[in-house]
Amino acid sequence: MAYVPPYRLKLEAAAAAGSGDEAEQKLTWDALKKSLNGAVNKVNRANVKEILPELFQENLLRGRGLFARSVMRAQVSSPGFSPVYAALVAVVNTKLPEVGELVLKRVILQFRRAYRRNDKQVCSALVQFLAQLVNQQVAHEILALQMLTLLLEKPTDDSVELSVEFVKGVGAMLREVSPRGLDAIFERFRAILHEGDISMRVQYIIEGLFTARKKQFADHPSLPQELDLVEEEDRITHELGLEEELDADESCGAPPPDASACAAALCCCSVLLLCAAALAAALCCPPC
């Protein structure tokens, strides 16, 4: 495929936005996909505040399926960046809660599929992401307790190891918002140790988790300072359960079919540009 300069892409995208022609709509859609992928792929702890206004300049509502797919692919490829991607989703969620909810739905559905397939690698990545989404209060703590109940119901080496990984990620938050729930989970860990049906290696991993709890999860903070980007009153939490019926809304992964949808998208874009300006001011200007 021939190289297309960025300025040419923008011109073509602008032309496509004003037309209902199917080919031109596809061009606009491809440009949106490329922009969202580019923003998500370059985000890190140091530049997340700069990436967010750039992200809000795109039509996130129209491209919510693209955004969700891009974030999830990047996170599964680099689970160590889960806190960054969760912070990104948390800020988007304050302005466009339907986008944050879609990401959460798809992550839950992907976890359920990976768990049924016994795909430990994907499950490991997703429990890290879900832990951080709970920490950012995009997901409710009930979801965390439901996941741990599932993983520890019929313990195996893999499920217990995933549980320990998840508790390390979300333990500090659960200690604050659901101490009794966390106590119940640790009672289950203690029972698993007494039963002795898991390997010695995993038993040592559980003992390490008890040590982390004694230290009040000091080595596993729920929200690093540089990723605590949302004011408490602005947080929007989606109370989605692990077992409830969820719609992944796959239809939002395709271009809008007609010119009226394009007009609605342009209207949404104007709103998002205002959001971007307000967000840039909020993130860049220190409080008085």
Give residue 249's pLDDT band: very low, low, confident or very high (50, 70, 90). Answer: confident
Would you give the DSSP letter of residue 274? H
- The CA distance from 288 to 16, in Å, is 43
56-105 pLDDT tens trace: 999 998 999 999 999 999 999 999 999 999 999 999 999 999 999 999 99
CB 110 within 8 A of CB 145: no
Residue in 40, 57, 63, 16 with CA at minimum distance from that of residue 251: 63
Q: Give pLDDT, residue 275.
A: 53
Q: Which residues contact 90 (CB under 8 A, 6 or more apart)?
A: 100, 133, 136, 137, 138, 229, 230, 235
Question: Given a cut of 50, is residue 262 above it in pLDDT?
Answer: no
Question: Given a cut of 90, is residue 8 above it in pLDDT?
Answer: no
Q: Give pLDDT, residue 256.
A: 58
> What is the topology classification, in CATH, of domain 44-245?
1.25.40
| DSSP per residue, the chain | -----HHHHHHHHHHHHT---HHHHHHHHHHHHHHHHHHHHH--TTTHHHHHHHHHTS-TTTTHHHHHHHHHHHHHH-GGGHHHHHHHHHHHHHH-HHHHHHHHHHHHHHHHHHHHTT-HHHHHHHHHHHHHHHHTTSB-HHHHHHHHHHHHHS--HHHHHHHHHHHHHHHHHHHHH-HHHHHHHHHHHHHHHHHT-S-HHHHHHHHHHHHHHHTTTTTS-SS-GGG--S-GGG---B---SSS-----GGGGS--SSHHHHHHHHHHHHHHHHHHHHHHHHHHSPP-
CB 224 within 8 A of CB 83: yes
Which amino acid belongs to residue 113?
A: R
Burial of 95 (0-12, 13-18, 19+ CB in 10 A): buried
Q: What percent of the chain has pLDDT over 90?
A: 72
- The CA distance from 137 to 122, in Å, is 22
- The CA distance from 64 to 96, in Å, is 9
Strand partners, 139: 238
14-24 pLDDT tens trace: 655 555 567 77
Q: Give pLDDT, residue 28.
A: 86
Give residue 170's pLDDT band: very low, low, confident or very high (50, 70, 90). Answer: very high
pTM, full prediction = 0.82
- The CA distance from 62 to 75, in Å, is 22
* Mean pLDDT, rounded, for 178-204: 95
